[in-house]
Structures are given as structure tokens and as C-alpha cells.
Amino acid sequence: MSVEEALQEVLKCALVHDGLARGLRECAKALDRRQAHMAVLVETCTEKEYIKLVEALCAEHNINLIKVSDAKKLGEWAGLCKIDRDGNARKVVGCSCVVVKDFGEESEAMNVLLEYFKTR
């Protein structure tokens, strides 16, 4: 299982268990309160201050940070879309930052991500 697949599965599980903070405001609050287990940030964010803020909060509180390439993809993984009858994502909204506050349940994907963070 690749890191990207593991990340997608962990985000989906956290979403089901109401353990996701989506968007800069929610993420900054969760990071500042030390409620976060990990943060996901988009590399291509237009506002450099967003990146600086999230990276600084993660560094200050020793929270793992992983970066992804596409905001639309992150938005889809975080549940910011509609699912049609065929199971395809429609009306996907881009998302700049997502924080996992609760993994939900222990899974192979979670272990893959934790191992990835240990080796970095």
C-alpha cells in the first residue's frame, strides 16, 4: 500500500468517525489546541501565509505534516463533494488543509502512515 492510498483511507475513516478538521480556520484551532494527530497541506496553495502558519504550528507542537499536490484531490478525500448514483465524486471543492483529530479505528493504512513518519 502506497503512502497516498494509506492517506486516502485514513482520511475516509477519520471523516466517518467525525475526526477531521477541514479548512484553515478549523485546522489552525485544532493544531493550536494540540488536538491533532497529523496534518495534510496542499503544496500549491496560493496563499503563502497559509503554508507558513500550518508548518509553524506543526513544528511548534511536534505534529506530523504531509503534503499533497492537488487541492481538489484533498477536497475529495476529505468529503467536500457530492457522490452520484454511480459512486463518482461530483462538485468537488478544493481544500487547502486537513487535520486528523481522531483516526477512528486502528488500521493497516494508519500503521503505514505512522511508519512513513518515523522514517522521515
Mapped to the 3 state alphabet, what secondary structure does 31-45 carry?
HHCCCCCEEEEECCC
> If we measure between CA atoms, which residue out of 75, 114, 111 comes closest to residue 96?
75
To the nearest 10 degrees (0 to 180), the angle between helices 3-16 and 108-119 is 130
Domain with 34, as residue range(s), is: 3-119
- pTM for the model stands at 0.80
pLDDT tens digits, 13-70: 888 888 888 888 888 888 888 888 889 988 888 888 888 888 898 888 888 889 888 8
User: Quick one: which of 41, 24, 43, 20 has its CA closest to 32?
Assistant: 24
Question: What is the domain count for the chain?
Answer: 1
DSSP assignment of 58-70 equals HHHHT-EEEEES-
Least confident range of 24-28, 92-96, 97-101: 92-96
* Cβ count within 10 A of residue 66: 17
Output the domain CATH number for residue 89. 3.30.1330.30
